[in-house]
A and B are shown apart, each in its own frame.
Chain A
Amino acid sequence: MTGPVRTLVAWCPDWPVVAFGRGLDEPVAVVHANRVIAASPAARQQGVARGLRRRVAQSRCAELDVIERDEAREARTFEPVLAALDDITPRVEVTRPGTCALVMRGPSRYFGGDEAVAALVRDRMGDVLDGRTEIRVGIADGPFAAGLAARAAHPTRIVEAGATPTFLAPMSISVLERPELSDVLVRLGLRSLGAFAALPPADVLARFGDEGRGAHRLASGLDERPPDARLTPPDWSISTEIDPPADRVDRVAFVARTLADDLHQRLEHDGISCVRIAIEAETEFGETLLRLWRHEGALSAGAIADRVRWQLDGWLNGSAVTRPSGGISRVTLLPDEIVPAKGRQLGFWGGETEVDERAARVAARLQGQLGSDAVMVPERRGGRHPDEQLVLVPAATVELRGRSAGDQTEHAREVDGEVPPWPGQLPAPSPSRVPAKPHAVELIDADGAMVTVTGRGMASASPVSLGIRGRWLAIVGWAGPWPVDERWWDVDDHRRRVRFQILTDDGQARLVTLEQSQWWVTALWD
């Protein structure tokens, strides 16, 4: 059995920030789904770290510039950097924008050793980047170890052939980027990759399943999956003609989307998923462009389509050097590395499911059709009123994939009483209708006078009739008043309200609120 392929990984730190053309000395944070995913060194110095909520990040660094993530832009700006490496080897593989990998065997022999190639790569990338960010280069056996070598590099780190397991052994188990698995392993006392790799593979497979086996192989310095002797059948590739040749991204992207869907369906039908895909474009003058994209998990239809769109965008909107000579007349997708599909059910560790994926896709589609704030998702907030406890936020600001698995625990914590209660909340059952705009009503006592509430929180009289748009309903049950005096320290936001539950003879129960000497129906138990 052959070992992992010797690989070079070049990594530009903070790429999401660099892609926006921002200097690394400015405090900048890039957020996605309300969480920080990258921050400039200047922002990091002030305590802005990955995974923080936007507001927490802003509170740590007041002058922080927060930018919404733009993956297409990241990919587009990275393309010229990749193009600079094209004459070292034609098969440059993109792991994600900002990180790329090349197989070392050919280039190393041609250019005279690993050091020479590393220097050449730094040189070429440096020319394009022009000092916008640093470049770290790592060489080791296998892409995983090479990636870690690049992270440990100052600025180049070459792990000798065969020394990869020794290089990996002292690393923390968290570099596997499988939080749930490493959490269990740490509790078992296995804190380093070496300690984990020392376990017998069969036992790891028996206890932690396929995912555990993959992690164990990585920790041992092997490829995540054992090499597959079976040849990739050539007919997995799928291509389409574009006539007339397209030079606008949106036209090609539309074709790419259907192509990606077709490919995904075909692979799924054969029980196969794809971890690396080659995207090939042919121009009207017969020029061909090719780029490889890798994904840590399996590429879903949406992920394939995204990568195709980014890549074509990178080619078509790139600099004069990388731009193709004419319109694109043909797009081909070749699943380059395939693995048996394990199905996308709710995994042992939870995580992304297919139903989440489908819901996220339809949400994205409707956002495009109706506007981004037409598709909302509920989010828990604190509050005393039904319309404050839960609010709707645009679906675009949260990560829908994996949401049900991740947030249920948050909800469970709430149910278990770990989240403190809000004093002054009305107890369950909650009203089933909370109109966005409360409508004004009249509440009168037996003498026909408006019911008021004294400064000591007592009702002036028993309410007997509720007037809604000129219609009078007899009150058969009521309770209250429950006064709320909120934000009294704030002149603008100060609210004083008094709430009543009112049941009328039509069987309808309502939450009626007195505010500014006016009665409002704020909620209904329909």
Chain B
Amino acid sequence: MFDTREMAAAERVTDLRLVADKVAPLALARERTMPLLPALTSLFPEGGLRRGSMVAVGGVGATSLALAVAAGPSASGSWTAVVGDPGLGLAAAAESGVVLERMLVIDPRGQDAAGVVAALVGAVDVVVVGPGVRIRPADVRRLSSRMRERGSVLIRIGSLDEPGVDIGLRIVESEWTGLGVGHGLLRARRVRIETQGRGSAAQPRGAAMLLPGPQGAPIALGEHALGEHAPETEARPELRVLA
């Protein structure tokens, strides 16, 4: 019968799991990564978002960058939680690739934000913390170890130089295209991002991209493309006042 076979298979799986538990290296969570949008992979040493890491984003455009980082895991099935950032543009989040059906937006109500984040770690894969939220260094240490254990990633908007950050992404140059004086429309923003960090992320990296791109999602540009003419990804005629 199928059933006995199934039972035997279940038992085998159990045995295998026990063996796997025994031989698993302790640093397993560190090595596991979540996928990133293709435009962002060159910024991260592992080419993906390392589970358990704390990411900080800063500079003009930090919010778009945070959404772009969260979009990769979200598109591949993870839940995203946003803590203490009620003003986050939901339409922009959807355009950058965050799946809104798997998103929670939490208002800590003046209560301890670190406690809320700690509750979310492990239950959702990506936690985005808004720019107004302060977390005490002692809480950051506790959170970090909890994140490493549970494999969730914390993205902090605008807290680049705070302790505990594994990799910081800073937008160092940004330039909008599409908007003229009295005509046009915001179409895309060319940015240059530089990283700072510790451990494997200590070596600085850089990338140029359209963030947001014409449809909202980031589009990678060549390393030195900034300032040059960006490839026309979307043929949208510019509106001009003729008379």
Contact = CB atoms under 8 A, between A and B. Distances in A.
B232 interface: no
Given A269-B14, A341-B10, A430 B92 contact: yes
A173 to B, nearest CB: 23
A338 B242 CA distance: 76
B156 to A, nearest CB: 15
Interface in A465-518: 476-479, 501, 503, 506-509
A362 B124 contact: yes
B104 interface: yes
A477 to B, nearest CB: 4
B212 interface: yes
Contacts of B119: 362, 365-366, 369
Contact of B87 (A269, A270, A434): A434
B14 A526 contact: no
A208 interface: no
B28 interface: no
A433 B2 CA distance: 55
B170 interface: no
Interface residues of B, number: 71
Interface in B57-78: 60-64, 67, 77-78
B40 to A, nearest CB: 16
A375 B7 contact: no
A432 B64 contact: yes
A479 B182 contact: yes
A427 B95 contact: no
A501 B178 CA distance: 11
Secondary structure call for the B interface: mixed
Interface stretch (A60-68, A315-323, A402-410): A402-410
Interface in A398-434: 403-404, 406-408, 411, 426-434
A392 B101 contact: no
Contact of B106 (A376, A503, A507): A376
Given A358-B123, A365-B119, A526-B62, A433 B87 contact: yes
Nearest to B62: A526
Contacts of A432: 63-64, 67, 88-89, 92-93, 212
Interface in B80-125: 81, 86-95, 99-109, 111, 116, 119-120, 122-125
A204 to B, nearest CB: 12
A272 interface: yes
A270 B14 CA distance: 6
B142 interface: no
Nearest to A273: B10
Interface of A: 205, 213, 225-226, 228-230, 269-272, 340-341, 346, 353, 355-356, 358-359, 361-363, 365-366, 369-371, 374-378, 380, 386, 389-390, 392, 395, 403-404, 406-408, 411, 426-436, 462, 476-479, 501, 503, 506-509, 523, 525-526
- Shortest beta-carbon contacts, A-B, top 4: A362-B123, A430-B91, A429-B212, A271-B10
Interface of B: 1-4, 6-7, 9-11, 13-14, 17, 60-64, 67, 77-79, 81, 86-95, 99-109, 111, 116, 119-120, 122-125, 174-176, 179-189, 212-216, 239
27 contacts: A228-B3, A230-B7, A269-B14, A340-B10, A356-B79, A359-B102, A361-B123, A362-B123, A366-B120, A370-B107, A376-B106, A386-B89, A390-B90, A390-B100, A407-B101, A427-B185, A429-B212, A431-B89, A434-B88, A477-B180, A478-B179, A479-B179, A479-B182, A501-B179, A503-B186, A507-B174, A525-B186
